[in-house]
Amino acid sequence: MSVYDKKSLKAEEFINDEEIKATLKYADENKDNLELIDKIIEKARLRKGIDHREASVLLACENPEKIEEIYALARQIKKDFYGDRIVMFAPLYLSNYCVNGCLYCPYHAKNKHICRKKLTQEEVKNEVIALQDMGHKRLAIESGEDPVNNPIEYILECIDTIYSIKHKNGAIRRVNVNIAATTVENYRKLKDAGIGTYILFQETYNKESYEYLHPTGPKHNYAYHTEAMDRAMEGGIDDVGIGVLFGLELYRYELAGILMHAEHLEAVHGVGPHTISVPRVKRADDIDPDEFDNGISDEIFEKIVAIIRIAVPYTGMIISTRESKSVREKVLELGISQISGGSRTSVGGYVEPEDEDENSAQFDVSDQRSLDEVVKWLMDLGYIPSFCTACYREGRTGDRFMALCKSGQIQNCCHPNALMTLEEYLMDYAHEDTRKIGEQLIEQELEKIPNEKVRKIAREHIFDIANNNKRDFRF
């Protein structure tokens, strides 16, 4: 039996099944212990986070008043750390060839009828132009695992192509990468290619379920997959994004697991995850989400988002178009800081949306709106859509980024950067009515920049973007 040790580099020690089970037992025993719950909420108010045991008690708590307190605190922390800004991104599917057998994903190797596609460099270029023409600046590239069809050299070539395309005023300024667990050497190559965040979802932290859900292929190896972020960090990538696929296992197990993973990264590397994603299993080709027993309601989903928000205040939280407009609306206020918009989850889908019998998509998109509709909707809700990519380009990654977050100084960058990148979007891509709303919003928001010098510079840059066709300013 392995013993829990968050500093260990062994998967079964830092994500320790005994510790998770003990945590869930402790949470059950204390779910009505209002004194303890108050103490945990008080600790969370210090904005330095809470640990997996404390978070699990809050998740188990069913007292409506306490839940409302947790939500109010999550809203406050979201507001204090992220203001009204929401960072925009889009996924780009490069290839759906995959040798793994994941039971919840239609790209699994046994699916013989799904349309397999892999973009050529010319197709990557066309997809990127289509994405730039929508207004995107930040991508997450996605690819199945297939050493023959999608070797690391292919991924690196695609990254190179993506960064090289300058179409009109467009540019992709940050490429985040979501590919299978790999070697330190390959992570070093990705780092050298200038990637932003390396994203890898754990899917489930429960080893037994993990092995059942990944019956074949290299992904079957739980330890290799779970220890991937440590290898990524060893390879020099210091912004990593973790996530679980809710619905596969008991959500309480997953919350404890994901927070233990965050605690492990912080303990070993001095920097926690850059982002946490919270996807839920969705319908797709031969995948029926009802076949998985652990689906969670919208209410539980919202509670999970709120608790992650207060547990790891400095970690960005991402939600995709897997979720509907109404769910997205609710979780934005509780903690989500990044969303995708106008997404296509099929290979080559930005240039040529697919018809029914040519399905290469990884999941069905619930939020089908265009990026412009999403941008306008966010502004109508009082948010500032941001296309900012400044930190990574200024070398503010890993512990440098976290140090700036913890000092509170990051706020002085994010807000003006959001306004300047929104102005670029409005000038180059927005519909007329979106532009009008945006211009008004920017005018009001400029006034809120506390530092007079920063306010003046931001105003000058916005003037130059609108009148002198200048681009790419950043703090």
Footprint on this chain of ligand SF4 (rule: CB under 6 A): 87, 98, 100, 102, 105, 107-108, 144-145, 180, 219, 386, 388-391, 410, 413-414, 417
Q: Which is nearer to ligand SF4, 70 or 404 (CB)?
A: 404
Nearest CA-CA partner of 276 in 246, 298, 235: 246
Tell the smallest beta-carbon distance from residue 203 to ligand SF4 (Å). 7
- CB-CB neighbours of 26 under 10 Å: 16
- The DSSP H or E segment spanning 309 is helix 298-311
Tell the smallest beta-carbon distance from residue 25 to ligand SF4 (Å). 31
Tell the smallest beta-carbon distance from residue 152 to ligand SF4 (Å). 15
Structure tokens given for 419: 């306004």
Q: Which is nearer to ligand SF4, 187 or 210 (CB)?
A: 210
Tell the smallest beta-carbon distance from residue 335 to ligand SF4 (Å). 15
- CB-CB neighbours of 215 under 10 Å: 14
How far is the C-alpha of 154 from the C-alpha of 180, rounded, in Å? 14
Tell the smallest beta-carbon distance from residue 271 to ligand SF4 (Å). 14
Q: Across 2-131, where does the E strand assignment appear?
A: 85-95
Tokens 């990468």 locate to: 177
Tell the smallest beta-carbon distance from residue 385 to ligand SF4 (Å). 11
How far is the C-alpha of 11 from the C-alpha of 6, rounded, in Å? 10
Q: Which is nearer to ligand SF4, 312 or 414 (CB)?
A: 414
Tell the smallest beta-carbon distance from residue 220 to ligand SF4 (Å). 10
Structure tokens given for 196: 């932003």
Strand partners, 243: 277
Nearest CA-CA partner of 202 in 75, 53, 391, 20: 20
Q: Which is nearer to ligand SF4, 66 or 108 (CB)?
A: 108
Q: Which is nearer to ligand SF4, 74 or 413 (CB)?
A: 413
Q: Which is nearer to ligand SF4, 31 or 385 (CB)?
A: 385
What's the chain's Rg over C-alpha atoms?
A: 21
Burial (CB < 10 A; 0-12, 13-18, 19+), residue 472, is: middle
Task: Judge whether 312 and 276 are in contact, CB under 8 Å.
Answer: yes
Tell the smallest beta-carbon distance from residue 288 to ligand SF4 (Å). 16
Q: Which is nearer to ligand SF4, 55 or 245 (CB)?
A: 245
Task: Judge whether 181 and 224 are in contact, CB under 8 Å.
Answer: yes
User: DSSP characters for 130-149?
Assistant: HHHHHT--EEEEEE---TTT
How far is the C-alpha of 461 from the C-alpha of 13, rounded, in Å? 51
How far is the C-alpha of 295 from the C-alpha of 231, rounded, in Å? 31
Q: Which is nearer to ligand SF4, 117 or 219 (CB)?
A: 219
